[in-house]
Structure 1
Amino acid sequence: MRVVSLVPSLTEAVAVSAPGILVGATDWCSHPADLAVARVGGTKNPRIEKILALTPDLVIANEEENREPDLAALRAAGVEVLLTEVRDVPQALSELTRVLDACGVTARPRWLDRAERAWSSPPAPERRTTAVVPIWRRPWMVLGRDTFAGDVLARLGVDHLYAGHQDRYPRLPLDELRAASPEVVVLPDEPYRFTAEDGPEAFPGLPCALVSGRHLTWYGPSLAEAPRVLAEALRAAHR
């Protein structure tokens, strides 16, 4: 079987669960670190001709990561496209199972069992906290409604203040974010690479939790360790 993945976290899931079947991945597919496959462009601008030249049996995509016109072009060329939707942890686990089944993985991966166990009883917070969660800086964008990362944080005791916003990733002025009076600011290192300097500069006086974007936003093997890694980062912000 020949598979092209247009989703970094699903690339990792397939690569470690069915070595050898991936023939193509995006430029942003950074895990596993030794992944040696053809690169087919970005998630938003894949090179359709290059994908077709790889003669894949299946292309794996996601309704948020990838654009429908690109997927339609692949389908029109006769390529099967598996489109995933991931808005919360349970859906991530079920979609991962569906992807691996489609890739012919017959033995359930151990990492998937570990991920289910980890999220069945995530670390209990000392108390629930409120947060704003920027994902971009120029302009400022934050988590809004109905996001996978928002659900991840909620399960760890963090309620982000724009969960009820009409947009999934609203663009908001920095003054408004400060005026929302979060108890903590969660700063992931992707898609925008926030650093320790961003917090004090933009949110003076507020505790900031620098977290791994891979553990916050990826739904793949990183799910198995995400509860522990994120909980540690959140606790560190309050020390």
Structure 2
Amino acid sequence: MSDPRASSGARVVSLVPSLTEAVAETLPGALVGATDWCSHPADLDVTRIGGTKNPDLERVLALAPDLVIANEEENRAPDLDALRAAGLDVLVTEVRSVPQAFAELARVLAACGAPARPDWLAQAEAAWAALPRPGSRTTAVVPVWRRPWMVLGRDTFAGDVLARLGVGHLYAGHPERYPRVPLEELRAAAPDVVVLPDEPYRFTADDGPEAFPGLRCALVSGRHLTWYGPSLAEAPGVLSAALRATRR
């Protein structure tokens, strides 16, 4: 039986784990290169080209891709400029909200050769559209790094994800997008919940909650909180369940 998903003759290198998963799900065989951090799908068999912040540009060039897909936050402008200077077509996304994620995913997939909007993208849009309008807000701080402590600030995709689930993080109005905040200040903010994702820093039950004695902590999937790809379809349910399962 043939694969019901579309196939493409385009050769694509992805510098973003979210976009890697989206292209792999929609256009099997299109990807020829991806970063070392591109962990989904688990059986992805492509040339690895280094990290998102330090790709091996010579290896990317050797793959002779028709398109390189990137993101303005995850990838460095000098690397993207170097690829363009070498003659490659580079598509750069900007994702700061859930609606913008859907629009950018459609743009990327069309550029990669998808003949139509894939079913998983329609399902993801429906899942988010079906959410009830949040009532009372749960306040939160959302650390994304430790040593030093860094949290979600203004204008972030993860912040918009949480807002649509009824969670308002307390640093949404901070002038920086990922401010460094002393632990004592985070504790003193007294949020309803401390949201601890497992990426980019891998917070676990033994690494994170102990820093916030007396505060409720929710360990959540970083992929569902910060990735914009097929995981968006299940993210509302997965994150809502994790937020309900808080611990002191």
> Would you call these one fold, judging by a TM-score over 0.5?
yes
Q: Is structure 2 residue 115 aligned with structure 1 residue 106?
A: yes
Residue 198 of structure 1: SS of its match in structure 2? Answer: coil
CA positional deviation for 1:124: 6.2
RMSD: 1.3
- TM norm structure 1: 0.97
Q: In structure 1, list runs of 5 or more residues that go unmatched.
A: none
2:83 is matched by which residue type in structure 1?
L
Q: Residue 235 of structure 1 aligns with which residue? A: 244
The residue aligned with 1:205 is 214
Aligned length: 239
The Cα of 1:197 is off from its aligned counterpart by 2.0
* TM-score with structure 2 setting the length: 0.94
1:45: which partner in 2? Answer: 54
Q: What percent of counterpart residues are identical?
A: 79
CA shift, 1:91, in A, is 0.1
Amino acid at match of 1:156: L
Deviation at 1:226, TM superposition (A): 0.2
| CA offset digits 1:103-122 (Å, max 9, x no partner) | 01013211101100001022
Deviations 1:85-115 (A, max 9, x none): 0000000000000000000101321110110
Match for 1:108: what amino acid?
R
- Structure 2 residue corresponding to 1:175, chosen from 178, 184, 208: 184
Partner of 2:153: 144
CA contact (8 A) 1:123 1:228 kept: no
Could you tell me which residue of structure 1 aligns to residue 200 of structure 2?
Answer: 191
Structure 1's consecutive aligned runs of 4 or more residues displaced over 3 angstroms after TM superposition are: 123-127
Letter in 1 for 2:195: V
**3-state secondary structure, aligned to 2:13:** strand
Q: 2: CA distance between counterparts of 1:127 and 1:182?
A: 14
2:87 matched residue in structure 1: 78
* Structure 2: gaps of 5 or more residues: 1-9
Alpha-carbon contact 1:143-1:168 (below 8 Å) kept: yes
| AA of the residue aligned to 2:26 | S
Contact 1:123 / 1:227 at 8 angstroms: preserved in 2? no
Report what 1:24 is aligned to. Answer: 33
